Amino acid sequence: MSIHVEVIAIGNEVLNGFTVNTNAALIGQALLGIGIPVTSQRTLGDNRDSIVNGLHASMRENDLIICTGGLGPTCDDLTRQYIAEVFDCELHYEPEIADFLHKNHKKQSSTIDNQAVIPTKAKYILNQLGSSSALIFEEQGKLIIFLPGVPAELKHFIHRDIIPMLMNKFHHINRELRQECFFMQLSEADVDPILRDLKDKYPDVEFGIYPNLGIISVHIISNLPTTEENLMFQEPIKRALISAFKDNFFSDVTNDIGKIVCELCLQSELCINVNEHSPYLHLRSRLGAVLDTTNGNITLELSGIPNLSADEQIYEAEITISLQSSDSKPHVSKFDVRGNKSMFATRCDHLALAETLKFIRNLLDKKV
Kindly write down the DSSP assignment for every residue of 56-85, as one continuous string.
HHHHHH-SEEEEES--SSSTT--HHHHHHH
**Same domain for 163 and 184?**
no
Q: Are 238 and 179 in contact (CB under 8 A)?
A: yes
Q: Is residue 24 part of a domain?
A: yes
Is the pLDDT reported for residue 340 higher than 70? yes
Predicted local confidence at residue 332, as pLDDT: 95
Predicted confidence (pLDDT) per residue in 205-256, tens digit:
999 999 999 999 999 999 998 889 999 999 999 999 999 999 999 999 999 9
Q: Is residue 189 part of a domain?
A: yes
Q: At 59, give phi and psi (nearest 5°).
A: -70, -25
**Same domain for 16 and 106?**
yes
**Same domain for 229 and 315?**
no
Predicted local confidence at residue 368, as pLDDT: 63
**Same domain for 224 and 311?**
no
Predicted local confidence at residue 79, as pLDDT: 87
Our count of domains for the chain comes to: 3
In this structure, what CATH number is given to the domain that contains residue 209? 3.30.70
Query: Over the chain, what is the mean pLDDT?
Result: 91
In this structure, what CATH number is given to the domain that contains residue 282? 3.90.950.20
Instruction: Find the farthest-apart pair of alpha carbons in the chain and give their distance in angstroms, rounded.
Output: 81
Is the pLDDT reported for residue 77 higher than 70? no
**Mean pLDDT of the 116-141 span:** 93
Predicted local confidence at residue 45, as pLDDT: 92
Residue type, 47: N
Predicted local confidence at residue 192, as pLDDT: 95
Is the backbone of residue 213 left (phi > 0), alpha (psi -120 to 50) or beta? left
Which of 64-68, 278-282, 323-327 has the lowest average pLDDT?
278-282
**Same domain for 346 and 269?**
yes
Is the pLDDT reported for residue 280 higher than 80? no
Q: Is residue 350 part of a domain?
A: yes
Give 347-366 as a DSSP string. HHHHHHHHHHHHHHHHHHHH
Q: Is residue 251 part of a domain?
A: no
Return the H-helix or E-strand segment holding 175.
strand 175-184
Q: Is residue 245 part of a domain?
A: no
Q: Is residue 202 part of a domain?
A: yes
**Same domain for 227 and 145?**
no
Predicted local confidence at residue 225, as pLDDT: 87
**Mean pLDDT of the 303-327 span:** 86
Sign of CA dihedral 176, 181, 182, 188: negative
In this structure, what CATH number is given to the domain that contains residue 113? 3.40.980.10
**Same domain for 13 and 157?**
yes
**Same domain for 104 and 15?**
yes
Predicted local confidence at residue 296, as pLDDT: 77
Q: How far apart are CA 289 and CA 266, in angstroms?
A: 8
Among 169, 193, 209, the domain boundary falls at 169
Predicted local confidence at residue 342, as pLDDT: 87
- The larger pLDDT score, comparing residue 275 to residue 74, is at 275
Q: Which of 125, 16, 115 is nearest to 70 (CA)?
A: 115
Which of the four pLDDT bands, split at 50, 70 and 90, describes residue 285? confident
Is the backbone of residue 214 left (phi > 0), alpha (psi -120 to 50) or beta? left
Q: Is residue 212 part of a domain?
A: yes
Rounded to the nearest 10 degrees, what angle do helices 48-61 and 79-86 cross at?
50
Q: How far apart are CA 119 and CA 94, in angstroms?
A: 9
**Helices assigned H by DSSP within 72-187:** 79-86, 95-104, 109-115, 151-157, 163-169
End-to-end CA gap in the chain = 50
Q: How far apart are CA 130 and CA 11, in angstroms?
A: 18
**Same domain for 56 and 81?**
yes
Is the pLDDT reported for residue 116 higher than 70? yes
Q: Are 315 and 307 in contact (CB under 8 A)?
A: yes
Distances, alpha carbon 294 to alpha carbons 182, 272, 291, 297, 299, in Å: 32, 9, 9, 9, 10
Which of the four pLDDT bands, split at 50, 70 and 90, describes residue 31? very high
Q: Is residue 64 part of a domain?
A: yes
Among 148, 169, 190, the domain boundary falls at 169
Give 254-295 as a DSSP string. -S-HHHHHHHHHHHHT--EEEE--TT--SHHHHTGGGB-TTT
**Same domain for 186 and 203?**
yes
Which of the four pLDDT bands, split at 50, 70 and 90, describes residue 284? confident
**Same domain for 265 and 222?**
no
Q: How many CA atoms lie within 13 A of 308 on its CB side?
A: 9
Sign of CA dihedral 159, 160, 162, 166: positive
Q: Are 69 and 24 in contact (CB under 8 A)?
A: no
Q: How far apart are CA 66 and CA 24, in angstroms?
A: 9
**Mean pLDDT of the 83-100 span:** 93
Among 129, 153, 169, the domain boundary falls at 169
Predicted local confidence at residue 362, as pLDDT: 92
Residue span of the structural domain in which 200 resides: 177-233
Q: How far apart are CA 143 and CA 49, in angstroms?
A: 22
Q: How far apart are CA 168 and CA 236, in angstroms?
A: 31
